[in-house]
Amino acid sequence: MKINNIRVIDPASGRDEISDIYIEEGLIVSKSTRSDDIVIDGTGMIAGPGLVDVHVHFRDPGQTEKECIHTGAMAAAAGGFTSVVMMANTVPPIDDPAVVRQVLERAEKEKIHIYTCATVTKEMKGTSLCDYNALIDAGAVGFTDDGKPIVDETVLTEAFRKISKLHVPVSLHEEDPKYIAENGVNSGEAAKALGLTGADRNAEISMIRRDLKIAEATGVILNIQHISTAEGVDLVRDAKKTCKNIHAEATPHHFTLTDSAVEKYNTLAKMNPPLRSEEDREAIWEGLCDGTIDMIATDHAPHTIEEKSRDFASAPSGITGLETSFLLAYNVLYKKGIIDYLKLFELMSLNPARLYGLSTGTLSEGSAADIVIFCPDEKTCYDTSLSRSCNTPFLGMTFEGKIKYTIAGGRIVRSD
Q: Got the DSSP string for 339-368?
A: S-HHHHHIIIIIHHHHHTT-S-S---TTSB
Return the domain boundaries, the chain. Answer: 51-358+378-399
Told to judge if 145 belongs to the known catalytic residues of this protein, a careful annotator would answer no
Question: Nearest 5°: CA angle at 319, between 69 and 68?
Answer: 15
Amino acid at 195: G
Which pLDDT score, from 0 to 100, does residue 34 have?
Answer: 74
CA distance 56 to 116: 9
pTM: 0.97
pLDDT, one tens digit per residue, over 272-316 is 999 999 999 999 999 999 999 999 999 999 999 999 999 999 999
Tell me which residues of the chain have a pLDDT lower than 70: none
Q: Which of 37, 299, 370, 416 is catalytic?
A: 299
Percent of the chain at pLDDT > 70 equals: 100
pLDDT, one tens digit per residue, over 72-119 is 999 999 999 999 999 999 999 999 999 999 999 999 999 999 999 999
Region 51-358+378-399: CATH code: 3.20.20.140
What H or E segment, with its residue span, contains residue 207?
Answer: helix 202-218
